[in-house]
Structure 1
Amino acid sequence: MASSGTTGDADPEDPVGYFIEDLRFHGKSERTREAYERVLREFEAFVGDPDRNPGGQSLSPGEASQRECMAWVHSLRDDLAESTVATYASYLHRFYDYMTQVGAFDSNPMALVVEEMNESIDKDPTRREISIPQMRSFVAGVTHPLERAVVVALLKTGMRVGELCNLDLRDLRLTGEAGDAYRLGTRPQLDGRGDSLFVTADAARGTVVNGEERDAANKRKRATVIPVDAELAGVLTRWLAVRPDARSAAEPLFVSTGRKWGRRLTPQMVRNVVETHASEAGWYRRGGGAEENVTPHYFRHFFTTHLRDRTGDRGIVKYLRGDVADDIIDTYTHNWGDRVREVYERHIYSLL
């Protein structure tokens, strides 16, 4: 993070709060800020407790030395995966580095700690391997119509959680009675495509799409039309039959059936659903790292791995994920009916 230009004049009474506020100014998401604050407040409590830190006296973060920082990192290892420990250490390192740059602290005691740590942040960890039969059993345990629709949609499309939350009725085309009953698929991009979903690349946090300001962003490089197979079509049809009236004129596809009745689902609501069912299956542990926990992002990994292995066509998988360059995506966009749907429907795994 670049210096804010206030070097030498920052003397906050609450350095953690100061840093979190600057993260907001730098455009970091609420989820990111919450993660940083949780970790930094835990460190603050550790150094402030004379019974826990090695100095035996209450210290503020600005008074902590390399020894306190190393002791805190060591204390994490009993309960957290190594990749999570490395991530938390990187949060503290970034905090000290920034506060040093703006003149609030004299030095960064985490610099040497990070250098000496054997762990590194694992950006592509070896993840839990779940077979298709195991995932099929998992889906069988998700019986609520909304929760099943969300889980099956993520597993069948490889969408990011924000992209799923941003879907409106106009982005889903279902042929037959369902399409007529619920005014679906009015996007012109879906014309002639059969049962399918349109995932735009235009939705960003704070932008207005289809008359509604969005709280989540779509991160794909280009808009994508994703086939909807018979299983997903059936699950979505059953959800639409009980879907509450939306509180937004944009007509979100997925809306809450809980305390925020009729409001568009948020990424956190989806994460809560997945984490609850994953915990029941023994696939999620609070404090666990990406290599063991099953989350919505894991579903994207599951989709990519199994569909790539089944098709042997990396290009189609990249197209469906929405993370390919223009020349590749244009090839599949122009040959959508002959190539994408045929390959997808021939190889997509059964979950029901």
Structure 2
Amino acid sequence: MLIDQALSLFIGYQNSQNRSEHTIVAYQTDLNQFFNFAASDLGQEPEALTVDQIDIYTVRSFLGILSEHGLARKSMARKLAALRSFFKFLCYKGILKDNPVRRVASPKLGRKLPHFLYTDQIGGLLGAPDESNLLGCRDKVILELLYGSGLRVSELISLDRDSLDLDSGLIRVLGKGNKERVVPVTNYAIQAIRAYLKMRADHNKALLLNYQGTRLSERSVRRILDKLVAKISLEQHVHPHMLRHSFATHLLDGGADLRSVQELLGHKKLSSTQIYTHLTRERLKEVFSQAHPRAKLSINDEK
């Protein structure tokens, strides 16, 4: 089977599984990059390449070239995951008998701890919006939901008015893979939402609107956050996901159990949530080394 035909079948299957548009575009980009390399490596025209021409050595050569060009291991692992999914699908459909990626090891990744904001920084940021006008009230809602409920940006901008049950203090959120979950909202968020909706004079079903009256985009949320960070002169780059990291970190610091945090974040695997326990341990070590007099003893002091 020609590569183009196999790719069309694979993408069609991904669409049927309700994969996000972002995921599907990433698959196409990574796979097309590999196919172009494989065609060149095998001395073929890309449109004449067939799936059975690709073997483990082609895959390993591809990864070797990526490594020589200095591509990050995380990006290499993502591309390999796309290849693994593609060839696993072809084997499942009986188009191939052997998966050329099956015996290729993924690059080892160093565990990178997520960045977060301290409570005083969060407090300053939450006080930054000007709540005397409509857009300021909207910005307050953005912050209160990103930090107060730990929402992803994609979940935030997809919220509709009928997703809210403010009397019960709950909202319905559409997470990754179109999986719905119910999360609590803080009283601060409820007050901010009610103040914002009271100023609205439209009937748009979307909760958050831009100045043109249409649904807010992820890019707009990032720009709004950048402006608020600049307003309080916070000397670090803050992205929306950092508020979600802060939400999880502060919950665990406050004594929340890991399973509850997993459910609140909408993580499929507990291992995705466990990284925050590493983060809180690092914080405890940092506090200990700075505050305890016996922790400050240097090697020279012992001599």
TM-score, with length taken from structure 2: 0.62
Return the letter of the residue paired with 1:253. Answer: L
Whether the 8 Å CA contact 1:159–1:300 is kept in 2: the answer is yes
Check 1:90–1:217 CA distance in 2 against 1; reply closer, same or farther (3 A cut): closer
Check 1:93–1:142 CA distance in 2 against 1; reply closer, same or farther (3 A cut): farther
Whether the 8 Å CA contact 1:167–1:253 is kept in 2: the answer is yes
Check 1:278–1:317 CA distance in 2 against 1; reply closer, same or farther (3 A cut): same
Of 102, 115, 127, which residue of structure 2 is paired with 1:128? 115
Alignment of 1:159-198 (within 5 A): 159-161=151-153, 163-164=155-156, 165-168=158-161, 171=164, 173=166, 185=167, 190=168, 197-198=169-170
Whether the 8 Å CA contact 2:90–2:96 is kept in 1: the answer is yes
Whether the 8 Å CA contact 2:152–2:241 is kept in 1: the answer is yes
Of 30, 33, 38, which residue of structure 2 is paired with 1:47? 38
Deviations 1:272-303 (Å, cap 9, x if unpaired)?
Answer: 34555678999xxxxxxxxxx97655433320
Q: Secondary structure at the match of 1:14?
A: helix
1:71 aligns to what? 61
Aligned: 1:18 with 2:9: yes
1:156 aligns to what? 148
1:199 aligns to what? 171
Of 243, 246, 256, which residue of structure 2 is paired with 1:313? 256
2:108 aligns to what? 119
1:253 aligns to what? 207
Q: Which runs of 5+ in 1 are unaligned?
A: 1-9, 174-184, 191-196, 206-215, 283-292, 325-352
Check 1:128–1:224 CA distance in 2 against 1; reply closer, same or farther (3 A cut): closer
Aligned residues: 250
TM-score, with length taken from structure 1: 0.55
Q: Which runs of 5+ in 2 are unaligned?
A: 230-236, 268-303
Alignment of 1:221-300 (within 5 A): 223-229=182-188, 232=189, 235-236=192-193, 239-240=196-197, 243=200, 245-247=202-204, 251-258=205-212, 261-263=213-215, 265=216, 269-270=217-218, 272-276=219-223, 296-300=240-244
Return the letter of the residue paired with 2:59. Answer: C
CA distance in 2, matches of 1:147, 1:128: 22
Of 302, 309, 314, which residue of structure 1 is paired with 2:246? 302
Return the letter of the residue paired with 1:246. Answer: H
Check 1:257–1:219 CA distance in 2 against 1; reply closer, same or farther (3 A cut): same
Deviation at 1:239, TM superposition (A): 3.9
CA distance in 1, matches of 2:85, 2:190: 46
Whether the 8 Å CA contact 2:175–2:266 is kept in 1: the answer is no
Aligned-CA RMSD value: 4.3
Deviations 1:12-46 (Å, cap 9, x if unpaired)?
Answer: 74321221101223343333322322221222233
1:343 aligns to what? none
Q: Secondary structure at the match of 1:199?
A: strand
Check 1:137–1:18 CA distance in 2 against 1; reply closer, same or farther (3 A cut): farther
Alignment of 1:334-349 (within 5 A): none
Aligned: 1:38 with 2:58: no
CA distance in 2, matches of 1:15, 1:238: 52
2:77 aligns to what? 86
Relative to its length, the structure with more helix (as a share) is 2
CA distance in 1, matches of 2:163, 2:63: 49
